[in-house]
Chain A
Amino acid sequence: MRFDTPATTNPIDQLKVVGKPTDRIDGPLKTTGTAPYAYEWHDVVPNQAYGYVVGSAIAKGRIASIDLTDAKAVPGVLAIVTAENAGKLGKGDWNTAKLLGGPDIQHYHQAVALVVAETFEQARAAAQSLRVDYIRAHGAFDLASAKDSAVVPEATPATAVGDFAGAFASAPVQLDATYTTPDQGHAMMEPHASIAAWDGDKLTLWTSNQMIAWSTGDMAKTLGIPKENIRLISPFIGGGFGGKLFVRSDAVLAALGARAARRPVKVALARPFMFNNTTHRPATIQRIRIGATPDGKITAIGHESWSGDLPGGGPENAVQQTSLLYAGANRMTATRLAVLDLPEGNAMRAPGEAPGLMALEIAMDEMAEKLDIDPIEFRILNDTQVDPSNPGRRFSQRQLVECLRIGAERFGWKTRDVQTGGTKTGRIREGRWLIGVGVAAGFRNNLLTRSAARVRLDRPGIVTVETDMTDIGTGSYTIIAQTAAEMMGVPLDKVVVRLGDSSFPVSAGSGGQWGANNSTSGVYAACVKLREAVTQKLGFNTAEAVFEDGNVRLGNRSISLAEAAGEAGLVAEDAIEYGDLAKQYQQSTFAAHFVEVSVDAATGEIRVRRILAVCAAGRILNPKSARSQVIGAMTMGVGAALMEELAVDKRRGFFVNHDLAGYEVPVHADIPHQEVIFLDETDPISSPMKAKGVGELGLCGVGAAIANAIYNATGVRVRDYPITLDKLLPGLPEI
């Protein structure tokens, strides 16, 4: 189905199932431990052996030699895979560094071997007795010192509108500030894991992966076999956040280990290994310049961002939102990329916007202060309903102002100025706690990609949906079931959803908050076809037939779907494909984040006290799972603002705090009352579902809202994340 004109009324608009807060249909499986995760497919193939990965002890250099003698002598060892004996390996399109290193080493903990043994303990013991000699080479590990050598990457050219330099120089009110965000780890609960089994030259891989088709292709490319020979199965995923968009070493090494050991092999990455072996969100240095008239109109806005990656890698596009979020006649953005020999950087939830807004939305707060305008009013004053670089191009929907106003009302923003007695900071105290509030805008683009599905109607009246879409804990199963139920006029319990299998039609997959809208639109397309198949079979006029209560009805003729399906059943497959509506209209999602914090006046300890997100993101398909997505994202925003940082050892070139004791993410005690409001919105330009994504929007802007609240509480402006107490101490009141 081609979607190239805005949606009109369609069966989804009935909203009998779609749009209702619905429990996750996979919930009982998860809470009873019966949803198998990648490492837990114990029964799918017999005789599974265990693989344990050995990681490089150096960040850059070469392997001089590997001595396998001790490792081979460990009881139970079946095979040891190294680059030397693995045969020729390719590199996947989505990988920057090789997944099996050697002799050259590209980053710390790059896999250099897999030991396969009868038991996990034997494999681990043997892995630990592998002797690898390295020759270290000099590497670049510090973004700040590599900054000057950074170049503008091809993938993200600089943008310019009007005369930024001139307009900024002549602006009566100016801000020129630099912000930094650190490297961050995905820290999802389920580690990367895979079970590989060969049948002749055919490989089956049970794994944990967000993008089935990408990864099937990359497995094929890495192993040098046709992708038709690979079946990838990933129906349950214990979180990914972008860390599982790609094939990683667990998958490739499980396949190689299984080939070497001639039996199925399972591999999970140990937690202390994940931070340096897999991908991470790269650190940024961001310079933001804003010029405005004294009454608060932005005349110039410029955003530059520096990040680093291994040779051949990409930048963190932290300037993305700045092209679109606020008005201003003169503007520029630029990203620059330096070569760093740290582990490879890549997407993490809301890549680009998450770190970009952490900086931009502090800058807006700083500017509002300089202008002496309420930060909400300042944002509203500079709202734009069109793409600022192409004013003929409108936003399909843009309710940022409504988000800010409704949020202000709900949060009690007005009391802020009254409470602070006219000053902006540091006046409200409750015992030892300094209290402050902050606001930030949230923004994340809506991305459209082809997504296919197959829908089957069976004799018992069951509708089965198959698509290689993944559910990374987001609720894909449920919204897809809701979509099919709505389309076919059946209750939810008559729908079966099967996901995450490369033998199913290729979907959008999960990433970039594009999963919900695109995958359900693909299911919509397939259901439209199935409806046609049903009506044609019955000789009904498709346009007039009503699918309701398990029946299809035309006038006073009503036939049950079960009967319509007949013994053979009916199957339809289709995909949603997009025309150029995304070119004609800018499609984005919007939010306003409000935060209240308290800061211990003595120790600088920061506690978030309440947090509110107001989101405008098209039709909300399932308010319950959407809310879960947003509160999860807000939680991640608290982590980003207050504690998450992969500490770089700039001499040795690795992330030092590589476990969950060292890399701190919020715990329950850090998370206060969270509230989410979704504006009642439909976006017919987005898709037939009239929906967009919310999963990343909930993160975008939260960090800055917290930073602004801390400033409001203490008067200390921290521009380097995370905002840990040591950065506040020098500015706190004498005690």
Chain B
Amino acid sequence: MRSFTYERASSPAEAAAAARAEGAKFIAGGTNLLDLMKLEIETPTHLIDVNGLALDKIETTTEGGLRIGALVRNTDLAADERVRRDYGLLSRALLAGASGQLRNKATTAGNLLQRTRCPYFYDTNQPCNKRQPGSGCAAIGGFSRQHAVIGASEGCIATHPSDMAVAMRALDATVETVRPDGTARSIPIAEFHRLPGDTPHVENVLVPGELITAVTLPRPVGGTHIYHKVRDRASYAFALVSVGAIVQRDGTGHIALGGVAHKPWRVEAAEIEMPRGARAVTVHLLADARPTNENAFKLPLVERTLAAVLAEARS
């Protein structure tokens, strides 16, 4: 770990302004950032602690949706009565992630911004374009069981590991931010995370120093909310694939996948096929999939998991 300086910000605007400094980074729960700093995968020279910004509230919006403060802990968000009642998918996705202790620390913004779990990214002896642009990608041709099957590039086949983000994607969330110059903006979740392309180290559309202040959810859409996370052990593991679904009585709805791409994977056009069943949806959802030998199983696994989810929604 490199040496760094540390400050506690007292307002979002102040935090964003402070983040203009070269090498500055925000720290929230620290459950991802600190691990990466210990391994010198992240090497910030200045940390801005955002825990004191009073961004830890969940409020109802005038449109009838929810505004979730960036610092709301995963545990609190999953347990919130409104979330459990109207956005069950989100609550279930959160509870499928990490462990109780981690969720007590992990925040809404930090969860969206957590970095990949590609094992080569974590090993600083290995080439990795995400960690060290231009060094190559050790996962391609290597151990790639966990990696992306769609939307990947020649430069990077990593996945985004978040469960929460999958639910946010299916729920059409919006990310609210404030930039270093003090201006605020709203970014639809669909546009928030990026595919790797030839800049896999750039994972989202935030500009340097841009602070997430909240994530908002639109009015509840009803329906049956299911999050099915498939993994190698029963708990405390990242998804091989996950399916987040909202299914209405008439069989229509929303579907987002985790564990298959560099971002939560959703193809709105595929959802038109929902009444026709899992195969029809999957054909569209994973139309341009290019798995590796080691993770080709994810394609049938998505279809089968989706079929189970749709069956569960019907029953």
Contacts and interface: CB of A to CB of B under 8 A. Distances in A.
A730 B39 CA distance: 39
A661 B117 contact: yes
Contacts of B269: none
A656 B142 contact: yes
A123 to B, nearest CB: 11
B230 to A, nearest CB: 5
B235 to A, nearest CB: 4
Interface string B34-59: 00001110000000000000000000
A125 B233 contact: no
B297 A651 contact: no
B233 A670 contact: yes
Given A57-B125, A726-B297, A729-B301, A651 B233 contact: no
Nearest to A661: B117
Nearest to A659: B122
Interface on chain B toward A: helix, strand, loop, or mixed SS? loop
Interface in A645-669: 647-649, 651-652, 656-659, 661-662, 664, 666-669
A336 interface: no
Closest 4 CB pairs of A and B: A726-B297, A669-B234, A57-B125, A602-B308
Contacts of A602: 304-305, 307-308
A121 B1 contact: yes
B236 A128 contact: no
Contact of A667 (B123, B236, B304): B236
A729 B240 CA distance: 13
A732 B301 CA distance: 11
B145 to A, nearest CB: 7
23 contacts: A125-B3, A603-B301, A603-B305, A603-B308, A605-B231, A607-B234, A642-B232, A649-B143, A652-B142, A656-B123, A656-B143, A657-B119, A658-B123, A662-B117, A662-B119, A667-B233, A669-B236, A670-B234, A670-B235, A725-B230, A725-B301, A726-B301, A729-B304
Nearest to A74: B3
Interface residues of A, number: 40
Interface in B126-178: 126, 138, 141-143, 145
Interface string B203-244: 000000000000000000000000010111111111010000
Contacts of B87: none
Given A125-B2, A667-B235, A735-B308, A657 B143 contact: yes
B120 interface: yes
Given A602-B305, A607-B234, A652-B126, A128 B40 contact: yes
A643 interface: yes
Contacts of B236: 667, 669
B188 interface: no
Contacts of B141: 651
A684 interface: no
Contacts of B3: 125
B300 interface: yes
A600 B308 contact: yes
A643 B232 contact: yes
A724 interface: yes
Interface string B292-304: 0000010011001
A259 interface: no
Nearest to A56: B125
A496 B230 CA distance: 50
A652 B120 CA distance: 11
A643 B307 contact: no
A584 B249 CA distance: 75
Contacts of A730: 300
B304 A272 contact: no
B64 to A, nearest CB: 35
Interface string B66-106: 00000000000000000000000000000000000000000
A603 B230 contact: yes
A272 B123 contact: yes
Nearest to A722: B232
B298 to A, nearest CB: 8
Contact of A432 (B230, B234, B308): B308
A380 to B, nearest CB: 34
B300 A729 contact: yes
A691 to B, nearest CB: 35
A730 B303 CA distance: 13
A124 interface: yes
Contacts of A724: 232
Interface in B261-289: 278
B308 A656 contact: no
B204 to A, nearest CB: 22
Given A128-B40, A667-B234, 18 more contacts: A57-B125, A125-B3, A128-B1, A272-B122, A432-B308, A602-B305, A603-B230, A603-B308, A658-B123, A661-B117, A662-B119, A664-B237, A666-B233, A667-B235, A668-B235, A669-B233, A669-B236, A729-B297
Interface string A256-277: 0000000000000000100000
A669 B233 CA distance: 8
A268 to B, nearest CB: 14
Contacts of A652: 126, 138, 142
Contacts of B234: 607, 667, 669-670
Given A649-B143, A657-B143, A669-B234, A735 B304 contact: yes
A272 B122 CA distance: 9
Nearest to A671: B234
A603, A604, A607, A647: most-surrounded residue (chain B CB, <10 A): A603
Contact of B233 (A642, A656, A658): A642
A529 to B, nearest CB: 51
A636 B101 CA distance: 24
Interface string A338-356: 0000000000000000000
A600 B138 CA distance: 33
B301 A735 contact: no
Contacts of B122: 272, 659
B117, B120, B234: most-surrounded residue (chain A CB, <10 A): B234
Interface in A183-201: none
Contacts of A604: 301, 304
Nearest to A121: B1
A121 B34 CA distance: 13
Interface string A595-621: 000001011110100000000000000
B131 to A, nearest CB: 14
A643 B143 contact: no
A664 B232 contact: yes
Nearest to A727: B297
B134 to A, nearest CB: 18
A125 B2 CA distance: 6
A432, A666, A724, A725: most-surrounded residue (chain B CB, <10 A): A725
B121 to A, nearest CB: 11
A121, A647, A656, A732: most-surrounded residue (chain B CB, <10 A): A656
Interface string A414-432: 0000000000000000001
Contacts of A664: 232-233, 237
B230 A605 contact: yes
A257 B233 CA distance: 40
B145 A647 contact: yes
Interface in A90-130: 121, 124-125, 128
Contacts of B40: 128
Contacts of A643: 232-233
Contacts of B126: 652
